[in-house]
Structure 1
Amino acid sequence: MTDAAPPPATRAEALALLTATGQPFELATLEIGGYPRKVFVHAPPTLREMFAAAVSDATFLVYGEERMTFAEVTRDAGRLASVLVSRFGVGKGDRVAFSMRNFPEWVISYQAATSIGAVAVAMNALWQSDELEYGLKDCGAKVFIADQERLDRLAGCSPDLKVPVIAVRADRPGEAARYEDLMAEAAGASLPAIDIAPDDDATIFYTSGSTGHPKGVVSSHRNIISALFSWELDVRAGALMQGIEPVPPARQPVALLGVPLFHVTGANAIFLQCYRAQRAMVCMYKWDAELAAEIIEREKVTSFTAPAAMTGDLVREAKRTSRDLSSLLTVGGGGAPRAPEQVAQIGSSFAQAMPNTGWGMTETNAIGTGIGGEEYLNRPASSGRCSAVLELKILDEQGRVLPAGERGELLIRGTSLFRGYWNRPELNAEIFEDGWFRTGDVAYLDDEGYLFIVDRIKDLIIRGGENIGCGQVEAALLKHPHIHEAAVYAVPDERLGEEVGATVHGDPGLDPDEIRDFLKDHLARFEVPRYIDISPEPLPRIASGKILKRGLRDEAARRLAAAATT
């Protein structure tokens, strides 16, 4: 009798074992889009197959008093898919847009669209009429599925916006077809037979950039499924290194969905991972830390993933409440970096839960690097090490690869990386170089391959995980009839990481509250500047004529810091 082999000493060794020929996570190299990519040999080729393999009578969706099993969700997705094809003429490659709260119908719409080869366009539910109209026109939506809040905003769009609408949970549907009626008519219908290839377009998620309108991030079935398998591989590698043999849980795991599904964190890291792992997913209408603690106790929630602002709220609620939160096993992060203090607080605030986080983007389908448990507690400022299906490098301004420890722009390439921005060929030519994507983040890698994000090249604000393009907010400010110049920038915020600040110059008598009221019709609530400074003089500019935004931002930060001390 021989002794069992010792666990692998390094992550690289664990990954090599798990991805070898014949293993469940076996990797092979294929040329995709003109570049070699590492692909999971045993992954389902498309989301349609992935959903079909997960059909069971286990509970999947929980919303208030409503509960649906995996089988019931798949049944309803098949019915909706048949309606999209037969009544609305949706074909392969057509865009099916939807925007609503975290209702079960969001999940059903996503599954229905991607299962018939259509492109699921997950629109930001916080958008106002201007942005909603832009998104629908930009993607060329064949049909729009929306709840009452979004229907009300749709009414504020221009008359030339012609798109058929399906109304979800609406008491004032107008001319829109009612979701409930369509589903009743399709009772007994099954999922239409459609041939879908792994590299066909599957989704468009809109993300704010540093200038102009939001950009549509186009991902394929393979991009998304590679991200899901990569997360599973990292978990398995961590267990292998600790000598832990995975065993089925004693009871069904449960995830709490507190973030919007229109973000890749909600859609990929929570919703689709729940499908893969047969987890129940409890959907919140909107974030409320007190209600979240109640749900965790009642539903025995085992995992919660959210930006730092929300996990910080839960840490404070855990200290305040007497509720039993001991079912939590993991508190994941994403969307924005955590302060090192919060990392330690997670480890000490819950009976069993350990923190984890990672760096990823909408463009990478939320994966990139990952770190968790003791490894994270020991390196709270790091975003972790690179996924097995991705590559990272750091470049200086001359395009040279930098050694460990030196800061430069972070570039990434690999199998989960999106294929490009929708209808933006010029931009795609700028941000891709030999298959590498320029992230706009300033970062460095240490000697062990741990990534540290230190700054951003892009003019972008990350408010509690929400990306806010400064240019978009500036454009909305300049729609105000009495504002002549506007500069928008990030200011530090203890809870959200960053808040939106603005300095404006214009006609005498400008009032910050009146400006915010004006912006409510042009921006989502989270994009409206919390801090507005009225400058009596034209804004300072550099030699090229650009506004000296850094000086305005630094002055705003100093002013806020002084106010906080007094």
Structure 2
Amino acid sequence: MYPGAHAATNPDHLAVVMVGSGRTITYGQLDDNSARLASALNALGLVKGDVVAMLTDNAAECFEIYWACMRSGLYITPVNRYLTAEEIAYIVNDSGAKALIASSAVPTVAEVRELSPQVEHAFVFGGDVDGYASYADLLANAGERLIDQPRGSDMMYSSGTTGRPKGVKQAMLPIQVDQPGDPITGLLGGPFKVGPQDVYLQPAPVYHAAPLKWSGAVQALGGTVVMMEKFDAEGALAAIEKYGVTCAQFVPTMFVRMLQLPEEVRAKYKHDTMRLAVHAAAPCPPDVKQAMIDWWGPVVFEYYGSTEQNGITFVSSPEWLAKRGTVGKAMIGVLHICDDEGNELPAGEVGTVYFERETRPFEYHNDPAKTAEATHPQHESWTAVGDLGYVDEDGYLYLTDRKSFTIISGGVNIYPAEVEAVLTLHPAIFDVAVIGVPDAEMGQQVKAVVQLKDGVEGTPELAQELIDYTRERIAHFKAPRSVDFIAEIPRLPTGKLLKRELEKLYVPTGV
């Protein structure tokens, strides 16, 4: 449902609260501003299927832009503000955006405009920037509301860990104003009963798929989105207590940061209002998840999905405790595990994870070859994004790793995520990544790249301790053969590990 459905019954109910500034937007304001923006963009000549690029920090205006696109048949393409100007301009240009709406707080915003001259209309909020018209003036001068409000969609770009980012173009859904919306909205409004009574903490960068779409789903259901300008561990705990947060979504790195807080800090904040703490986006080490369940109780849910949104699995705390390590059963799409030739594998065997939908739910923008590569060789409605895993006899999915990250040592597959899960909660480690590096005898060997906690010294003795620690917990052949200590593990603000950046340090020169 669009914000107007809730504005009509409770216009003063809060749709957005910004944690840092305290700024709020009511449903009445969100409905009015998004309708104004939809009308203004239509008057500029944008029609159903056109693209609006959004370049911003975590700002309340994000949701006005999102809903303007959703209620006028436009694609919205959020862009990672932490990319270079050239990288941002590539996405803006590749998407074919006819309009660019940006925050003046993004340092590269002026340079991006210079690098994307084909964008017909550019607007900025939060301050004046050369090359941009005023977003506030655009809203103020908007005409009458649109009568026809076809549902829009999103075209998110991958993070580009294996090359240039690719636009993931979702199919437009034939959904009208008064209907529930996309599958995520149906999921939250159905099994999880999210509604106007709920307060949802949004701690991650809103330009990524899950933060934006899940926040939009909460607003479609009438809940309040409490958004942090930037995540910090204690700040998240404080926000949960202050706003009476009932639902939240995290990435595993955020769990780790909260668990690393001193016990006396963690104990300062109440979390008894929390009924749904969802995590996703990366494999969660089992010991980390167990620690969160021990701390918060059986309110921790996990889902597995992707930017492509071709399928979703879900698992509750009780299910996970019974099947430690699973990412759950399919709730959207039908699971299939296949070998490299596309043959379906039996339970327990590792292969590529496919989801079957009634129709193919996405395509890669301007890249039919990549779209074909993601499609099963015999079934057009089965799609995969490169993850490996297996299902057990009861249909629960267990992920092993990304296919492209698998280490092959002496002909044996080793999955870095399994090794990272062992090392993550070692008391000396702040962050860790495991990669494969060249080995003359074995082809590849396992290397752990470690960021230590403040005050811990990286010594040969500690490196050997970490190797021994791993060998005590998993098979010796999976353990690191070497350990390097670095100042900082490269991650996106979402917590996603930039493993390719680490590999560049080792693979070209050999180790």
What RMSD over aligned residues (CA atoms) do the two structures have, in Å?
3.4
Decide whether aligned partners of structure 1 residues 356 and 214 sit closer, same or farther in structure 2, where only a CA change above 3 A counts: same
Aligned length: 425
Alpha carbons 1:306, 1:334 under 8 Å: kept: yes
Name the structure 2 match of 1:341: 287
CA deviation digits over 1:53-77, x for unaligned, max 9? 3333321100132112222101110
| Residue 502 of structure 1, CA deviation | 9.5
Counterparts of 1:255-266 in structure 2 under 5 Å?
255-266=200-211
Which secondary structure does the structure 1 equivalent of 2:91 belong to?
Answer: helix
Aligned match for 2:222, one of 271, 278, 281: 278
Decide whether aligned partners of structure 1 residues 526 and 51 sit closer, same or farther in structure 2, where only a CA change above 3 A counts: same
Question: Are 2:19 and 1:59 equivalent residues in the alignment?
Answer: no
For residues 381 and 440 of structure 1, the distance between their equivalents in structure 2, rounded to whole angstroms, comes to: 19
For residues 159 and 253 of structure 1, the distance between their equivalents in structure 2, rounded to whole angstroms, comes to: 42
Amino acid across the alignment from 1:338? C
**Higher normalized contact order (CA 8 Å, seq sep 6+, divided by chain length):** 1
| TM-score under structure 1 length normalisation | 0.68
Question: Are 2:170 and 1:219 equivalent residues in the alignment?
Answer: yes
For residues 444 and 176 of structure 1, the distance between their equivalents in structure 2, rounded to whole angstroms, comes to: 50
Name the structure 1 match of 2:301: 356
Alpha carbons 1:308, 1:496 under 8 Å: kept: no
Decide whether aligned partners of structure 1 residues 338 and 259 sit closer, same or farther in structure 2, where only a CA change above 3 A counts: same
For residues 260 and 70 of structure 2, the distance between their equivalents in structure 1, rounded to whole angstroms, comes to: 39
Name the structure 2 match of 1:179: 135
Alpha carbons 2:156, 2:208 under 8 Å: kept: yes
Unaligned runs of 5+ in 1: 1-48, 237-247, 462-488, 504-515, 541-551, 556-566
| Residue 356 of structure 1, CA deviation | 0.8
| Residue 149 of structure 1, CA deviation | 3.7
Name the structure 2 match of 1:456: 402
Name the structure 2 match of 1:442: 388
For residues 273 and 93 of structure 1, the distance between their equivalents in structure 2, rounded to whole angstroms, comes to: 21
| Residue 210 of structure 1, CA deviation | 5.2
| Residue 51 of structure 1, CA deviation | 3.8
Decide whether aligned partners of structure 1 residues 111 and 195 sit closer, same or farther in structure 2, where only a CA change above 3 A counts: closer
CA deviation digits over 1:76-110, x for unaligned, max 9? 10111122122x32111111110111211111101
| Residue 207 of structure 1, CA deviation | 0.6
Question: Are 2:378 and 1:427 equivalent residues in the alignment?
Answer: no
Report sequence identity in percent.
Answer: 24
For residues 230 and 305 of structure 2, the distance between their equivalents in structure 1, rounded to whole angstroms, comes to: 23
Decide whether aligned partners of structure 1 residues 219 and 496 sit closer, same or farther in structure 2, where only a CA change above 3 A counts: farther
Which secondary structure does the structure 2 equivalent of 1:103 belong to?
Answer: coil
Alpha carbons 1:117, 1:195 under 8 Å: kept: yes
| Residue 416 of structure 1, CA deviation | 8.9
Question: Are 2:84 and 1:128 equivalent residues in the alignment?
Answer: yes
Name the structure 1 match of 2:333: 390
Unaligned runs of 5+ in 2: 175-180, 408-415, 425-429, 439-486
Counterparts of 1:290-309 in structure 2 under 5 Å?
290-309=234-253
Amino acid across the alignment from 2:91? G
Amino acid across the alignment from 1:150? V
Name the structure 2 match of 1:27: none
Amino acid across the alignment from 2:38? A
| Residue 539 of structure 1, CA deviation | 4.2
Name the structure 2 match of 1:401: 344
For residues 205 and 318 of structure 2, the distance between their equivalents in structure 1, rounded to whole angstroms, comes to: 29
CA deviation digits over 1:18-69, x for unaligned, max 9? xxxxxxxxxxxxxxxxxxxxxxxxxxxxxxx544433333211001321122
Alpha carbons 2:89, 2:115 under 8 Å: kept: no
Which secondary structure does the structure 1 equivalent of 2:258 belong to?
Answer: helix
| Residue 300 of structure 1, CA deviation | 1.1
CA deviation digits over 1:492-541, x for unaligned, max 9? 573666489999xxxxxxxxxxxx9xx9xxxx997598758867xx947x
Aligned match for 2:325, one of 381, 395, 417: 381
Name the structure 1 match of 2:316: 372
Alpha carbons 1:143, 1:165 under 8 Å: kept: yes
